[in-house]
């Protein structure tokens, strides 16, 4: 089987992560890097890959089956639309777009052109997350009643030297919380409504530094997310999962799923249940559910190559990713309005209404 030829558009930190993942993934060959920066030129030289000043030059001069879009968010949609117009499969970094309207436009363009669109919510490719999903879907926890997520970590002061990171274009809700929203959707089910509070009391920037989110899932499960990028704490996926070597790893846990028969913590996959008679007066036992660990960036790249070959369908397509974006934007919508936000069902390829949704695609409510 010959390797799938893929281009990389955008050569920042996440672009490098994709290069490393591709180098270890079978059947993948990155054949060009498109990014006008001198640092990108140096990166291409480091990996011995041809460099191009922009994605059009890459498309004109290299025969590729698809491309990774790892540019700043504002460029996601226009570059992906150019790729789709040329019939090239797309792996686009999260978030899919800056708005629901743009996300739907891109998803529909890929759907209409029959061009594969995969969105880079890489945690879905982590075997730990996939195992948790199986346990929930197969009823191993009984009825899922609650989920609690901690995403508490400390970003160093120098991180905010770039002005955009102090503005509402950034912040932990859009940059970090979107991962937790997507994991909850993938593992536990669709989100029905969201109520949230945010605060910028510690740093005083325009953007939040802390958020608390209450979510009602379809089926009745309630979930909470506590988020802060100003907390001296180890309880976050990045600091517990060993997924990214750039972060030190602690032995703490960050995600807790509670069911009527058993409960489980992630990323350890430590499951608790009653061995005999049930009830809080009786002792529980715990066991660690086995899983074969793997690097999600490598798995994502392997999957993208399989999608290009037509062997697999995208694990998260444009419509699915736009649902995650919708829920993430609802956090700020609720925090600013002070009301519970009910998510509509308009982000769907089956929707008969193909028009652009009004505002953010939300409906407000007080329940």
Q: Kindly state the average pLDDT of the residues 103-120.
A: 98
Residues 189, 220: Cα–Cα separation, whole Å: 10
Name the pLDDT band for 350 (thresholds 50, 70, 90): low
Q: Is the dihedral of CA 77, 81, 82, 83 positive or negative?
A: positive
Unique residue bearing structure tokens 């019939």: 87
Mean of pLDDT over the chain:
93
Bridge-based pairing of strands 144-152 and 222-228 is parallel
pLDDT of residue 262: 98
- Look at residue 19 and tell me whether its pLDDT is greater than 90: yes
Q: Kindly state the average pLDDT of the residues 188-195.
A: 98
- Look at residue 189 and tell me whether its pLDDT is greater than 80: yes
Which CATH superfamily is 127-288 part of?
Dihydrodipicolinate Reductase; domain 2 (3.30.360.10)
- Look at residue 357 and tell me whether its pLDDT is greater than 70: no
Secondary structure, 3-state, the chain? CCCEEEEEECCCHHHHHHHHHHHHCCCEEEEEEECCCHHHHHHHHHCCCCEECCHHHHHHHCCCCEEEECCCHHHHHHHHHHHHHCCCEEEEECCCCCCHHHHHHHHHHHHHHCCCEEEECHHHHCHHHHHHHHHHHCCCCCCEEEEEEEEECECCHHHHHCHHHHCCCCCHHHHHHHHHHHHHHHHHCCEEEEEEEEECCCCCCCCCCEEEEEEEECCCCEEEEEEECECCCCCCHHHHCCCCCCCCCCCCCCEEEEECCEEEEECCCEEEECCCCCCCCCCCEEEECCCCCCCHHHHHHHHHHHHHHCCCCCCCCHHHHHHHHHHHHHHHHHHHHCCEEEECCCCCCCCCCCCCCCCCCEEEECC
- Look at residue 54 and tell me whether its pLDDT is greater than 80: yes
Residues 6, 194: Cα–Cα separation, whole Å: 38
- Look at residue 366 and tell me whether its pLDDT is greater than 70: no
The tally of CA atoms less than 13 A away on the side-chain side of residue 297 is 18
Q: Kindly state the average pLDDT of the residues 307-324.
A: 98
Which residues is 224 bridged to in the sheet? 148, 214
- Look at residue 356 and tell me whether its pLDDT is greater than 50: no
pLDDT tens figures, 255-269? 999 999 999 999 999
122 neighbors 238 (Cβ within 8 angstroms): no
pLDDT of residue 23: 93
Higher-confidence position of 118 and 354: 118
Tally Cβ neighbours within 10 Å of residue 131: 18
pLDDT of residue 47: 93
Could you tell me the pTM of the whole model?
0.92
Tally Cβ neighbours within 10 Å of residue 32: 23
Q: Kindly state the average pLDDT of the residues 256-283.
A: 97
Q: Kindly state the average pLDDT of the residues 77-100.
A: 97
CATH no., domain 4-123+296-316: 3.40.50.720
Tokens of 167: 């503005």
pLDDT of residue 365: 42
Name the pLDDT band for 168 (thresholds 50, 70, 90): confident
Q: Break the chain into its structural domains and give their ranges.
A: 4-123+296-316, 127-288
- Look at residue 78 and tell me whether its pLDDT is greater than 70: yes
Q: Kindly state the average pLDDT of the residues 323-347.
A: 93
In Å, what is the CA distance from 228 to each residue of 179, 202, 208, 324, 354? Answer: 14, 10, 9, 20, 37
pLDDT of residue 124: 98
pLDDT tens figures, 132-141? 999 999 999 9
Phi, psi of 130 (to 5 degrees): -65, -35
């Amino acid at each position: 089987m010959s390797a799938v030829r893929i281009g990389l558009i955008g050569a920042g930190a996440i672009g490098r992560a994709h290069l490393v993942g591709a180098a270890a993934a079978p059947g993948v060959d990155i054949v060009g890097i498109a990014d006008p920066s001198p640092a990108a030129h140096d990166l291409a030289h480091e990996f011995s890959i041809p460099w191009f000043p922009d994605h059009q030059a890459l498309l004109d001069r290299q025969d590729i089956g698809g491309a990774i879009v790892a540019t700043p968010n504002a460029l996601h949609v226009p570059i992906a639309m150019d790729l789709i117009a040329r019939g090239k499969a797309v792996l686009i970094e999260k978030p899919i777009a800056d708005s629901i309207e743009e996300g739907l436009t891109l998803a529909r363009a890929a759907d209409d052109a029959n061009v594969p669109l995969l969105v880079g919510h890489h945690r879905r490719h982590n075997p730990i997350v996939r195992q948790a999903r199986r346990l929930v879907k197969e009823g191993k926890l009984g009825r899922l009643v609650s989920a609690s997520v901690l995403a508490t970590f400390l970003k160093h002061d120098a991180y905010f030297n770039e002005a955009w990171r102090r503005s509402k274009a950034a912040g932990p809700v859009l940059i970090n919380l979107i991962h937790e929203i997507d994991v909850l959707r993938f593992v536990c089910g669709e989100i029905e409504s969201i109520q949230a509070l945010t605060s910028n009391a510690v740093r005083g920037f325009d953007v939040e530094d802390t958020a608390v989110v209450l979510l009602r899932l379809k089926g009745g499960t309630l979930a909470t997310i506590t988020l802060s990028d100003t907390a001296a704490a180890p309880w976050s996926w990045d600091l517990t999962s060993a997924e990214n070597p750039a972060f030190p790893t602690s032995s703490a846990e960050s995600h807790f799923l509670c069911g009527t028969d058993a409960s489980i913590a992630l990323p350890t996959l430590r499951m608790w249940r009653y061995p005999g008679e049930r009830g809080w007066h009786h002792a529980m036992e715990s066991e660690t559910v086995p899983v074969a660990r793997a690097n999600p960036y490598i798995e994502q790249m392997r999957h993208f190559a399989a999608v290009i070959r037509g062997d697999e369908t995208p694990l998260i397509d444009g419509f699915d990713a736009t649902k995650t974006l919708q829920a993430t934007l609802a956090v700020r919508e609720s925090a600013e309005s002070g009301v519970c936000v009910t998510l509509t069902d308009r982000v769907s390829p089956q929707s008969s209404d193909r028009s652009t949704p009004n505002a953010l695609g939300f409906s407000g409510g007080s329940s």
